[in-house]
Amino acid sequence: MSRFSLIYLSSFFLLISFLSFLNILYSYYFNLYLNIDTYVYTLVISLIFSSIPLLKKKDDKKTSIYEKIITIVIGYFLIPAIISIPYFLSIYNISFLDCYFESISGFTSTGFTVFSNIKHLDQSLILWRSSSQWIGGLYFLFSIILLIDIFDKNLKNNVTDFLSFDSNEILKQSFKIITLYSLLTLFIFLTLKIINIRDFDAFNLALTLISSGGFLPVNELDILINTEFKQIILSFLMLLSFFSLFLSFNLFYLKKRGLSVFTEDLYLLIYFLFLNIIFFIFFDNNDYSSIFLSISSSISNIGFSTKNTPANLYFIFLILVVIGGSFFSTSSGLRFIKIFSLIKFSINELLSHSRPRQVYLSKISFSKNYANQSDINKYFLSILIFVLSLFTVTILLTISNFNFDVSFKLGILTIMNTVNSSIFGLGDFYFLEASFFSKITLIIFMIIGRVELLTFLIIVKKFLFKS
């Protein structure tokens, strides 16, 4: 690995050591000595890993896009191994595979858990679970920036309009992203405090919401969100991981950048309003706050639900999970922008065949540029890879003694990194009881889903189809 790759990974090991230190302070301050030693071990090990780049001589070699991808994938396997330490060394006697499963689920912002009763966990470990999702969301954002060159030129320009990728300013730009991410986390925390959610629960929810994660500090969301007003506030807060995370950044630079920077988010807002209008008209609206929350949690790939959510709408919510949110958000999914662009392109293709004398051109959404065949092919390829991945994981889970319905739903949620809940018909599913084979399958596909399916294809192409 190049020195750049080592520095990239070591930065997150250093961040883990910082979070370990905070957990030590938290445990000491509140006299939570039960598992405090586990965070000491994690602190020491993460510091050792973060110092590895010091052993590598400085080089001027340019890091290829393939090495960047490999670096990110290695990070998704290696960083959770460090995060697993507090689980493994705790008093709860959990196997390493279950600990690793919990860490992968947290780091990929999926939200699957092997713990059936959260209230039996000590507070420091609950905080650690939430922190793993927070750092995972940050890792995902930096991965997008690092791999910006593999995305469409239009998508790249949308970011580079306000982010400099000059190597000389990388620390400055990294600080910018971390600051923005932290401020939004703080905003969520303060908002939840205002609506009378206790500090500990509010802080954990803030860590998971901004990262599009699904870990809860309690067994059921209804314990925390017990009024319609709280449900509505939480629903709006979940949208922060649906819209582009850089929307807040754009707000500060509106005078310099113009209204064009909001175009993607405008499309997303129209999409969100359209969904709510349809649901309000055609479905029972006596308790619409629950449906409103389910819509927000589905499109943001968080997956929260309440007991009042209609169970017969699970397939619609699964479709919303697959569509996802903004390209530059912490949410997963195929991305709304891809689906929307493909629909426009397909309609224009049909019109061109019916009216051959007229020319129909499709613009890339939020862009002044027209879609070329290469962009469209990438979008179609993403959908094809998703279908093949879903087919594969469904078959593998079915082989491991899950029924087909559960395997199919779980396959979608795994690839889309969305927590299982009652709105998808999987509220009573416990991962601790899953077999060794099924856990390994879920671990692999959680990572595949998070690194983006197209990115994973590039890896396969590099090693299997060498030109």
Q: How many domains would you assign to the chain?
A: 1
Domain hosting 397: range is 247-464
Residue range 440-465: mean pLDDT, rounded: 75
Lowest mean per-residue pLDDT among 12-21, 270-279, 306-315: 306-315
Residue 271, in any domain of the structure: yes
Are 314 and 303 in contact by the 8 Å Cβ rule? The answer is no
Computed over its alpha carbons, how large is the radius of gyration of the chain? 22
Residue 66, in any domain of the structure: no
So what's the pLDDT on residue 439?
Answer: 95
Q: What is the DSSP string of 269-307?
A: HHHHHHHHHHHHHHS--TTHHHHHHHHHHHHTT-----T
So what's the pLDDT on residue 365?
Answer: 46
Residue range 270-277: mean pLDDT, rounded: 92
Q: What does the alpha-carbon distance between residue 323 and residue 339 come to, in Å, rounded to a whole number?
A: 7
pLDDT over threshold 80, residue 458: no
Residue range 42-60: mean pLDDT, rounded: 83
Residue 74, in any domain of the structure: no
Res. 48 pLDDT band, cuts 50 70 90 = very high
Residue 261, in any domain of the structure: yes
pLDDT over threshold 50, residue 312: yes
Residue 289, in any domain of the structure: yes
Lowest mean per-residue pLDDT among 102-116, 150-164, 205-219: 150-164
Residue 12, in any domain of the structure: no
pLDDT tens figures, 176-215: 788 889 989 999 999 999 999 999 999 999 999 999 988 9
Helices (H), 84-213: 85-88, 96-107, 123-146, 153-160, 170-194, 199-210
Phi-psi region of 234 (alpha: psi -120 to 50; beta: other; left: phi over 0): alpha
Are 424 and 317 in contact by the 8 Å Cβ rule? The answer is yes
So what's the pLDDT on residue 169?
Answer: 58
What number of other Cβ atoms are within 10 A of residue 236's Cβ? 12
Mean pLDDT in the chain?
82
Q: Where are the beta strands (DSSP E) in 307-393?
A: none
Higher pLDDT, 362 or 10: 10
Share of the chain above pLDDT 90, in %: 40
Residue range 290-315: mean pLDDT, rounded: 87
pLDDT over threshold 80, residue 464: no
pLDDT over threshold 70, residue 319: yes
pTM for this entry: 0.89
So what's the pLDDT on residue 366?
Answer: 46
Res. 467 pLDDT band, cuts 50 70 90 = very low
Residue 241, in any domain of the structure: no
What number of other Cβ atoms are within 10 A of residue 116's Cβ? 11
Residue 314, in any domain of the structure: yes
